Amino acid sequence: MKVGIDMGQVSSSLASGAANGSSAMLDLEELLATRLLVQGNSGSGKSHLLRRLLEQSAPMVQQAVIDPEGDFVTLAEKFGHVVVDAARSEGDLQRIAARVRQHRVSVVLNLEGLDTEAQMRCAAAFLGGLFDADRDLWYPMLVVVDEAQLFAPSAAGEVSDETRKISLGAMTNLMCRGRKRGLAGIIATQRLAKLAKNVAAEASNFLMGRTFLDIDMARAADLLGMERRQAEMFRDLERGHFVALGPALCRRPVPVRIGEVATSARSGSFKLMPLPEQPKEEARDLIFTAGDDEIVRPVVQRRAAPPPPAATNDLLAQLARSRPAAAETAPEMTAESKAEREIVLDAILREILADSEAAFRTVAVLYQDFLVRCRIRRVSGEPPNLPAFRRRLAVARAGVDAETAAGAEWGRAMTFASDLAEDIQGVYLLLARAALTGATCPPDGEIARSCGSRSPGRARRLVAYLESRNLVVTRNDPRGLRIIALPDLGWETGPGDPNAYEEPVAAPDTGDLFAVG
């Protein structure tokens, strides 16, 4: 059975077939499935429209109102809505929202008096509690969000990114996934440009009120499927007049005049009043002298915004500077101490690369890990800079042992590789190590791993690129195995199967926080 509620009167037929002056009916069951977007400048009558909708549907369906200005708390007197004061913890609001769905009580979440960031967090917590209710409690509910641009802003504002992300996620869940949970989102905004697109796009019903900016009129006309020349009508709409479209309203755009309401907002409409007549001296006394019944409120000192958190490198440098003075005046390093230092640095690098996932981390992440380990082990002297670390990393990924690395032949390979781009140095050194030691040609998987990839196709492309630059020459032996020669060094790998690579198995947990595992 179709359940309709009377929103007012149709003020013009406008190619819809509706008679002028007939009732503008809204199909409540269709609204539960298709959601509603209300747009209009301040003073166009959005709150009046929402109040009419809430009053007409209050006996038929459960309601929850997100009220940033406290305008809808008057619904409690006539329609029995429970007013929930948002000055609570987020956990309390989530639990209250769960009880609201359990007991099917209509509520108004009063956010009045809170700053914008607190309003966004409280609304997100409450909407999250409604959304996360058990499946057995998924009864139909109208969720009305006034001033929706506050809770789903299209761009970052004065609030933190975390708060905006939380609030926007809750509004997105309401509009995108709420239908299956019985939640019908009804959102009202002053400007569509201020509202996040993924929230506005989920509404299928529209009530567009008075607006003056050309871009807003054009967007409203586009949403209603009207011609651009008709967009001027939104500038001429009176207060409380809207253009309606949607499966729950009508199939063609129809101007509607919203009907009367039984309750009123606490703020009301402001009327001009004459100023009181009094002498100038008495006016000064009234301003600068406290009255007998005046409540003296303490001055609230506003705290400055906290500074951004310090970077990891700055914290580590600060810790290093805070060491005792005796540690800062380290003795000059001898040849023996330098050799020991190199051994420790190589050991640290081997520990890092022992992790099976280390090959796929960026150089910057590995360098941060390397610096932390150096400080933990109190390695003397300044740690290697990033370019030096890249060279060490390329050598380590090539799998060169200490004896080979100390030889003059390997020095030739390092000198030649230093002129290559960083993304192919590791691949070239891997091939050079295999050719120098007479090992088989590395398979594609091992080549890809040396450049931080799992794709054999990337390895083949890198080898092809090296060959196009005449840095390597590839050929196959009679068995179809690949051989790669390095003409500048005069070396050649042994024949190897390019598809013979297997992923290494991670080492067992040894209890070391920085070890493999």
pLDDT of residue 98: 92
| pLDDT confidence tier of residue 332, bands split at 50, 70 and 90 | low
What is d(CA 389, CA 422) in angstroms, rounded to the nearest whole number? 12
Lowest mean pLDDT among 45-49, 79-83, 381-385, 398-402: 398-402
Same domain, 251 and 342: no
Domain assignment present for residue 441? The answer is: yes
Query: Where residue 182 sits, what CATH number does that domain have?
Result: 3.40.50.300
Q: Considering the entire predicted model, what is its pTM?
A: 0.55
pLDDT of residue 507: 46
Cβ–Cβ under 8 Å, residues 413 and 436: yes
Domain assignment present for residue 504? The answer is: no
Average pLDDT over residues 498-510: 60
What are the residues facing 171 on neighbouring strands?
none
**Tokens 């301040």, located at residue:** 42
Single out the residue in 258, 283, 301 at which a domain terminates.
Answer: 258
Same domain, 477 and 388: yes
Domain assignment present for residue 87? The answer is: yes
What is d(CA 207, CA 365) in angstroms, rounded to the nearest whole number? 52
| Structural domain containing residue 468 | 334-492
What is d(CA 34, CA 38) in angstroms, rounded to the nearest whole number? 13
Distances (CA, A) of 380 to 33, 121, 189, 387: 68, 49, 62, 19
Average pLDDT over residues 73-84: 92
Same domain, 249 and 355: no
Report the domain count for the chain: 2
| pLDDT confidence tier of residue 352, bands split at 50, 70 and 90 | confident
Single out the residue in 258, 291, 324 at which a domain terminates.
Answer: 258
pLDDT tens digits along 92-118: 999 999 999 999 999 999 999 888 899
The torsion defined by the Cα of 245, 23, 233 and 52, in degrees rounded to 10, comes to: -80
Q: Average pLDDT over the chain, rounded to whole? A: 81
pLDDT of residue 218: 80
Give the percent of the chain with pLDDT over 90: 24
Domain assignment present for residue 213? The answer is: yes
Average pLDDT over residues 305-322: 70
Same domain, 353 and 463: yes
Same domain, 346 and 252: no
What are the residues facing 85 on neighbouring strands?
110
**Higher confidence at residue 321 or residue 474?**
474
Name the residue among 119, 116, 197 with its Cα closest to residue 158.
116
Same domain, 88 and 219: yes
Give the DSSP H/E element, type plus range, for residue 345: helix 335-354
pLDDT tens digits along 265-290: 876 556 777 877 777 777 777 777 77
Average pLDDT over residues 220-235: 78
Same domain, 172 and 41: yes
Average pLDDT over residues 375-389: 80
Lowest mean pLDDT among 51-55, 128-132, 194-198, 318-322: 318-322
Domain assignment present for residue 473? The answer is: yes
Distances (CA, A) of 301 to 33, 46, 298, 304: 48, 36, 9, 9
Same domain, 16 and 147: yes
| pLDDT confidence tier of residue 16, bands split at 50, 70 and 90 | very low
Cβ–Cβ under 8 Å, residues 66 and 126: yes
Q: Which letter does DSSP use for residue 440 in this model?
A: B
Identify the sign of the CA torsion 79, 85, 90, 91. negative
Same domain, 26 and 146: yes
| pLDDT confidence tier of residue 139, bands split at 50, 70 and 90 | very high
388: exposed, middle or buried (Cβ count in 10 Å: 0-12, 13-18, 19+): exposed
Domain assignment present for residue 502? The answer is: no
Domain assignment present for residue 506? The answer is: no
pLDDT of residue 301: 59
Give a three-class secondary structure readout of 55-87: HHHCCCCEEEEEECCCCCCCHHHHHCCEEEECC
| pLDDT confidence tier of residue 305, bands split at 50, 70 and 90 | low
pLDDT tens digits along 189-201: 988 888 888 888 8
Domain assignment present for residue 304? The answer is: no
pLDDT of residue 220: 80
Single out the residue in 191, 223, 258 at which a domain terminates.
Answer: 258
| pLDDT confidence tier of residue 364, bands split at 50, 70 and 90 | confident
pLDDT of residue 367: 83
What is d(CA 418, CA 410) in angstroms, rounded to the nearest whole number? 12
DSSP line for 392-433: HHHHHHHT--HHHHTSHHHHHHHHHHTTS-HHHHHHHHHHHH
